[in-house]
Amino acid sequence: MAQIIKAIRGTRDLLPAETALWNRVERTAREVFARYNFGEIRTPVLEATELFARGVGEETDIVSKEMFTWEDRARAASEKPQSLTLRPENTAGVVRAYIEHKLHDTGQLQKLYYIGPQFRRERPQKGRYRQFFQIGAEVIGPASSGSESPLRDAEVLEMLAALLDKLGIPRASAANEYKGWRLLLNSVGSSTDRPRYVAALREALAPVKDRMCPDNQRRADTNPLRVLDSKDEADQAIIDALPRIADYLDDASKQHFADVLATLDACGVPYTVNPRLVRGLDYYTRTTFEFTVDLGLGTQNALLGGGRYDGLSEMLGGPRAPGIGFAIGEDRLILTLLALAEAKAADEGEPAPAKIDAYIAPLSPAQNAAALALARILRGAGLQVEVGDGTFRLKKSFDAADRVARHIVILGEDEVTQQQATVKAFASGEQRKVEFHTLASTLRA
Ligand code: AMP
């Protein structure tokens, strides 16, 4: 029995005390995205395994070790069983939908956002889960819609800065000892620059890789770019001496990156160029970025990541459709906001918990029906209302009401006949009779 009353390792329940904050974050994200003319897309949690193998890349950690994948039984003897995967990320699914629904044929730039669960078989720890949530967005379209423009990269980054600002996460600066968010940026070049750079990396790694940790030895063979984001202390000197991608960018990619930076400067978005930022997914081209925060996340300090993926649609068998997108780790965003709230409470004291408008206390079971009918009217008027039960003693009703509500509304036999409730406001201690028909405005005041 013990196993079935415990959430699976790496997954968790979010109770109302937490979901209130999750909802506020999601509401804010929706508001900000709408201002930038993004519309919501919802894609299935289940996709064909092949989508990620082709889109994200066979050699990535995600596809090679972290996916929840299984063979689905064939429905008919003539059918082959299909390999299915719980989506580990959402960009491949969005691009699949872009191709499937022929959004390309509109000729328009598509600005799409999503909010939802993703699944990776990772070693669970604080800020890292097997079911986690991402809030992400993608800008994709035919090149004629301006989808390749550095303006789009800068707009997405400026939107992220606006969202984090609106959520109250400070920017890292000398004024706050560099606690807050920080944008790290790099260009990994075009689909022709990258293979040239990867070849140079392989060549530079060949004579030194035997001195590296086993993970990096393996990466040097399978996916040399991944060596660059290795955190292994002992390997850092070797990694620092490896060739830099900036030296392998063609003129068009260099210009594109310079334009992104100039636009960010014009918008007042601070950034740091990090030549080692290559990110773990194969589909990235040109601009790649990460926002880190040093509030509440410990070692898992990557709050969000993203980049340009000009070749992804074609990799999936679709038309040429350059694009750029990002995914925010919502769980990590929440941890950051909780750490901020905790720091604020330490400075200013705990904020009072939010209370609902009224708690209706019927004095006996005979008033239960009238209590629920009155609650229906008040809720219809937009008030937040809880209803007690006529079997409760008055003292129990008062205690219950005081915990959750600003007012107690007492309903006895007289109150129901006279259509007047006895109302007490807990803050002032004032108690008076209020006609049912003016109750909503009294409670709102
Ligand atoms: P990625 O899709 O790997 O580029 O990740 C984008 C963001 O999703 C990261 O910056 C994290 O904030 C978040 N993320 C990725 N994997 C996990 C995980 N296992 N648990 C929680 N958040 C995650």
Q: Which residue's C-alpha comes closest to atom 5 of ligand 1?
A: 305
Taking the CA of residue 328 as reference, the ligand 1 atom at the shortest distance is 7
Question: Do residues 390 and 362 touch, judged by C-beta distance below 8 A?
Answer: yes
Ligand 1 centroid–CA 91 distance in Å is: 13
Cα–Cα distances in angstroms (integers) from residue 219 to residues 104, 192, 203, in the given order: 36, 21, 13
Per-residue pLDDT at 1: 61
The Cα–Cα gap between 371 and 388 comes to: 8
Centroid of ligand 1 to alpha carbon of 304 (angstroms):
7
How confident is the model at residue 280, as a pLDDT? 64
pLDDT of residue 195: 87
Structure tokens at 288: 């790649």
**What pLDDT score does 209 carry?**
93
Which residue has its alpha carbon closest to ligand 1 atom 12? 329
- Ligand 1: nearest atom to the Cα of 127: 21
Distance of CA 82 to the CA centre of its chain: 30
C-alpha–C-alpha distance, residues 151 and 173, integer Å = 26
Candidates 25, 90, 134, 186: which one to mutate for ligand 1, based on the most atoms within 8 Å of Cβ? 134
| Ligand 1 atom closest to 128 (CA) | 20
Atom of ligand 1 nearest to the CA of 306: 4
Instruction: Please state, in angstroms and rounded to a whole number, the distance separating the CA atoms of residues 164 and 175.
Output: 18
Q: 276 burial class (0-12, 13-18, 19+ CB within 10 angstroms)?
A: middle
Contacts of 353 (CB under 8 A, 6+ apart): none
Residue whose tokens read 């499937």 = 100
Question: What is d(CA 218, CA 209) in angstroms, rounded to the nearest whole number?
Answer: 9
CA distance 314 to 278: 21
Q: Best of 56, 332, 337 to mutate for ligand 1, by most ligand atoms within 8 A of CB?
A: 332
Protein residue closest via CA to atom 2 of ligand 1: 89
- For ligand 1, atom 1: residue with the closest CA: 305
What are the CA-CA distances from residue 252 to residues 174, 225, 246, 266 (Å)?
35, 22, 12, 21
Ligand 1 atom index nearest CA of 332 = 12
Residue whose CA is closest, atom 20 of ligand 1?
128
Residue nearest to atom 11 of ligand 1 (CA): 329
d(CA 127, CA 48): 27
Ligand 1 residue neighbourhood (C-beta within 6 Å)? 89, 120, 122, 128-129, 132, 134, 302-305, 327, 329, 331-332
53, 92 Cβ separation under 8 angstroms: no
In angstroms, what is the span from residue 408 Cα to ligand 1's centroid?
A: 45
Q: Give the CA angle between residues 295, 339, 277 to the nearest 5°.
A: 25
pLDDT for 256 equals 97
Nearest ligand 1 atom to the CA of 304 is: 10
Cα–Cα dist 394/231, whole Å: 62
Burial letters for 146-159: b for 16+ Cβ neighbours within 10 Å, e otherwise?
ebbbbebbbbbbbb
Question: Closest by alpha carbon to 194, among 325, 286, 281, 279?
Answer: 286
Ligand 1 atom with the shortest distance to the CA of 129: 20
Helix H segments across 268-360?
Answer: 312-315, 330-348
Nearest residue (by CA) to ligand 1, atom 15, is 329
Residue nearest to atom 9 of ligand 1 (CA): 304
DSSP letter (8 states) at residue 390: T
Query: Distance (Å, rounded) from C-alpha 80 to C-alpha 118?
Result: 27
Check residue 2 and give its pLDDT.
Answer: 63
Smallest CA separation from ligand 1 atom 16, residue: 128
Residue type, 56: V
Tokens describing residue 367: 């008033």
- Output the CA 107–ligand 1 centroid distance in Å: 32
Alpha carbon of 329 to ligand 1 centroid (Å): 5
Which domains does the chain show, CATH number per domain? 16-190+249-345 (3.30.930.10), 356-444 (3.40.50.800)
Distance 361 CA to ligand 1 centre (A): 47
Distance 151 CA to ligand 1 centre (A): 26
CA of 441 to the centre of ligand 1 (A): 47
Q: Write out the chain's pLDDT in tens, 445 residues.
A: 667 899 999 999 999 989 999 999 999 999 999 999 999 999 999 999 999 999 988 878 899 899 999 999 877 888 888 999 999 999 999 999 999 999 999 999 999 999 999 999 999 999 999 999 999 999 999 999 999 999 999 999 999 999 999 999 999 988 887 789 999 999 999 888 888 999 999 999 999 999 999 989 998 988 898 898 888 899 999 999 999 999 999 999 999 999 999 999 999 999 999 988 987 677 889 999 999 998 878 877 899 999 999 999 999 999 999 999 999 999 999 999 999 999 999 999 988 888 999 999 999 999 999 999 999 999 999 999 999 999 999 999 999 999 999 999 999 999 999 999 999 999 999 999 999 999 999 999 8
Distance CA 89, CA 57 (A): 12
The protein residue whose alpha carbon is closest to atom 8 in ligand 1 is 329
Query: CA geometry: angle at 132 spanning 127 and 133, to 5°?
Result: 110
Query: How far away, in angstroms, is 256 Cα from ligand 1 center?
Result: 27
Nearest CA to 52 out of 93, 112, 18 is that of: 93
